[in-house]
Amino acid sequence: MSVPFEEIRLSLPHIEVAAHLYGPERGQPVIALHGWLDNAATFSRLAPLLDGVRIVALDLPGHGHSDHRPPGAAYNIWDYAHDVLQTAEQFGWKRFSLLGHSMGAIVSVLLAGAMPDRIERLALIDGAIPYTGEADTAPQKLGESLQALLEVDDKRKPVYDSFEQAIAARMKGVGAVSHEAAESLALRGLMPVPGGYTWRTDARLMLPSPMRLTRAHALAFVHRVACPASLVLAEQGLMTQPAMLELIETFPFARNRLPGGHHLHLDDQPGAEAVAAIFNPFFAA
């Protein structure tokens, strides 16, 4: 799969990040955000199919070719909203749209709810709100996170004997993907080490969250979104539970269900084309 894009690095005030640029320079500004443990390559099928948009597909900090956060810093999901805003500032974009998959979709909703004056449109793929937790579980969750932080330096990321072995492992990971999708993510996400290959991702990304938003917190962000929003749900994705589908019905988003798994926009060309068929008129409206 060969796709035209420009590889760039951005020196943000607090961190350096990598990204892929797609589309015409004067196109509608869009920042694309990938899912947890993925990278900018997740949009390699979809981005070329979207018309009239200038897409900055980020490697979020700790992922792909972007820098890891400094020692002592955390990977709280709301921290990514700051990374996105600083990226927009680099391009001089006061208003822009967001294209988000999974965790990237969640970050998009949080930012759109927090700063509705900055966000033009939300295009979301199989993601909307984070895992939530209520007040009574907060002390235990924080304790688990602190203990994990004490132990993280003693943990080593897996080393795979071959590139193909790493691809096979990614195919079975969270949000299982096709071989071709896993290969695209691996080409950007793996690095050679003694004994084989390992992932570039920061090991701290696998640590438990120190604090979760409550359900009420999460829904407050959803209902403060002021821009048009379009949510694509994968029929074999991660948002298929009846209670979740019932909750999503209350969101002020346009909703479309498409066949495919959690990475339907990357797994194969028909999936990417189906998602593009929804988002092209949405961005053009």
Tens-level pLDDT at each residue, the chain (285 residues): 456 899 999 999 999 999 999 999 999 999 999 999 999 999 999 999 999 999 999 999 999 999 999 988 889 999 999 999 999 999 999 999 999 999 999 999 999 999 999 999 999 999 999 999 999 999 999 999 999 988 887 667 899 999 999 999 999 977 789 999 999 999 999 999 999 999 999 999 999 999 999 999 999 999 999 999 999 999 999 999 999 999 999 999 999 999 999 999 999 999 999 999 999 999 999
- Does CATH number 3.40.50.1820 belong to domain 6-132+213-284? yes
DSSP 65: T
Domain chopping of the chain, boundaries:
6-132+213-284
The SS3 of residue 233 is: strand
Q: What is the pLDDT of residue 155?
A: 67
Rounded to whole angstroms, the Cα distance separating 41 from 186 reads 9
- pLDDT score of 175: 77
Alpha carbon distance 166, 159 (integer Å): 8
pLDDT of residue 176: 84
Phi/psi for 121 (5° steps) reads -150, 155
Cβ neighbours of residue 268 closer than 8 Å, sequence gap 6 or more: 45, 178, 180, 181
- SS3 at position 202: coil
The two structure tokens encoding residue 84: 């996105």
What is the pLDDT, as a whole number, of residue 37? 95
pLDDT of residue 154: 60
Token pair in block for residue 213? 């938003």
The tokens describing 16, both together, are 């350096």
Q: How far apart are CA 199 and CA 208, in angstroms?
A: 19
Tokens of 216: 């009420």
Q: Is 215 left (phi over 0), alpha (psi -120 to 50) or beta?
A: alpha
State residue 56's pLDDT score.
Answer: 98
